[in-house]
Structure 1
């Protein structure tokens, strides 16, 4: 909390600021995480670190081969192509460079194995938790996203409505309104980044599926896909998913397709 006009920081000033904050009617408090939530958070943070390390190694490998005229697109999906170049004896690569690239490939393989093991751990945890199983009934929410919501999100009772939960995730436009004129900007990105990113990824998967198999004519998703860019549609769908998640967890119900819900 900002200490207002107090110029110095000390224990007394901090205690006064805490007391003042506790007395404010609009102050929002966060419940401390349980040991189980902290343990699951470590799993997610470790997985994120391994993914970043593997990406760094793949980029380094691609950059090294580029120096000798071998070009490959970005992404882990093109790693086999890089491995073929390194293993090809006819490729014009110095022995020293080939050895370095082989060492990078070994490290990438080790990280991929550890990521696969963590994925199995997350899948097991998501199957054991009733909340995670319920969340996975929603299209676009997989084991990782479901467990992330259970790990990082506060109790849904802390939010008055689904829109508050979506706003907490940063899935709402940034407001720059003034003088009675409403101006909305890009997504605020002010909330929990792990859940927000996973919901957008899941929403993008739903959008891709709908574009291939055609969403039902007249549906909300079909109308939005006709007039908006794909990424914007995915963010709007992620917002809708967040509101649906709030409803599912507060009412203790599985996902229901809007098309099958009676009016």
Structure 2
């Protein structure tokens, strides 16, 4: 007889439920949210054919930890699981959720998702940290500008070498303003140093990755875009067709159809927003700064003539994502023809 398990994961504890093929509960227990503790509890029950858990912050660590222990773990889409679990129990409790996940595993009514590898999550952590730090730098510079403009001082661009010098000159002789500017400049300097350190780590990762090196042969694709794309795709073979990557990243038009209504709107904006933004920026660089003869660029400029430049950038970003996935899958470099 086959047995199925459901794991309702929280930060500290995980509720475990094991059911048999007919739906009878065999085991209900709690364990610490670690792969070893969960595996120890599951060893007290019959061997399970499927062990299901939802996507979440703890999912990558538990999924790879349980898989390394030889357990048949499956990660499922949390939004679909939420809608299904609402119909299985009147009260939403961790115990009922674990039981509902076990029944989903038993019936097969779930959508499995790919769990990215831990190295891919590490690369994404660098990219997310850099984005947050750059945002903090811009916030600090805007605050400095706001304080300086009260005294009639207009500052240059934040990354200009004269920025810090003019800020110090503008605040000299004004006790309160001088102290505020010194504090903001010190925080800005620390943020800039952190960004430089992250850029150094990202440069090393991109240089050591053959996949990133191949992607960077595309005009407009730099180390940040290449690293973000590789970390997001993770396993190119999980996409049956390269053109599916456009939908995965939210670069295809949204569609709503019901009866006589058939509406096609703007892009769906699903998936990783940061990668989508980087691809859009890479497409803009190819269209506006790259001076070489490129068939891909001419194709996008043709769209711009028939429609708008914005739609041309989106279409080129989608086409670039398809080409980049094909390059990752087949191990090829970009062909300019």
Which interval holds the TM-score relative to the shorter structure?
Answer: 0.7 to 0.9
Answering whether residue 17 of structure 2 is matched by residue 17 of structure 1, we say no
Change over 3 Å in CA distance of 1:26–1:9 after alignment to 2 = closer
Secondary structure in structure 1 of the residue aligned to 2:276:
helix
Larger relative CO (CA 8 A, sep 6+): 1 or 2? 1
Partner of 2:181: 101
Decide whether the 8 Å contact of 1:51 with 1:115 is kept in 2: yes
Q: How does 1:1-80 map to 2 (within 5 A)?
A: 1-2=81-82, 3-5=85-87, 6-22=89-105, 23-24=107-108, 27-34=111-118, 36-72=119-155, 76-77=158-159, 80=161
Partner of 1:145: 225
Answering whether residue 271 of structure 2 is matched by residue 191 of structure 1, we say yes
Instruction: Please give the per-residue CA displacement for 1:190-214, whole angstroms capped at 9, x wherever unaligned.
Output: 111221121112111112115x778
Secondary structure in structure 1 of the residue aligned to 2:113:
coil
Answering whether residue 336 of structure 2 is matched by residue 253 of structure 1, we say no
Partner of 1:236: 315
Distance 2:305 2:320 in 1: 20
Instruction: Please give the per-residue CA displacement for 1:24-62, whole angstroms capped at 9, x wherever unaligned.
Output: 47723222422x223223222221221121111111111
Partner of 1:87: 168
Secondary structure in structure 2 of the residue aligned to 1:186:
strand
Instruction: Please give the per-residue CA displacement for 1:213-257, whole angstroms capped at 9, x wherever unaligned.
Output: 787699312212324433332221111111111211222211122
Distance 2:192 2:272 in 1: 26
Decide whether the 8 Å contact of 2:249 with 2:269 is kept in 1: yes
Distance 2:200 2:124 in 1: 15
**Structure with bigger gyration radius:** 2
Shift of 1:69: 2.7
Decide whether the 8 Å contact of 2:172 with 2:178 is kept in 1: no
Q: 2:214 aligns with which of 127, 131, 134?
A: 134
**May I ask how many residue pairs the two structures share in their alignment?**
253
Decide whether the 8 Å contact of 1:68 with 1:93 is kept in 2: no
RMSD across aligned positions (CA):
2.8
Change over 3 Å in CA distance of 1:177–1:67 after alignment to 2 = farther
Decide whether the 8 Å contact of 1:207 with 1:230 is kept in 2: no
Change over 3 Å in CA distance of 1:37–1:58 after alignment to 2 = same
Distance 1:96 1:202 in 2: 44
Shift of 1:94: 2.3
Instruction: Please give the per-residue CA displacement for 1:133-163, whole angstroms capped at 9, x wherever unaligned.
Output: 1211222221111111222324122222122
- Consecutive unaligned residues of structure 2, counting only runs of 5 or more, are 1-80
Greater strand fraction, Structure 1 or Structure 2: 2
Change over 3 Å in CA distance of 1:81–1:228 after alignment to 2 = farther
Greater helix fraction, Structure 1 or Structure 2: 1
Shift of 1:82: 4.4
Distance 2:260 2:168 in 1: 65
Change over 3 Å in CA distance of 1:243–1:103 after alignment to 2 = same
- Consecutive unaligned residues of structure 1, counting only runs of 5 or more, are none
Q: How does 1:155-174 map to 2 (within 5 A)?
A: 155-174=235-254
Decide whether the 8 Å contact of 2:148 with 2:154 is kept in 1: yes
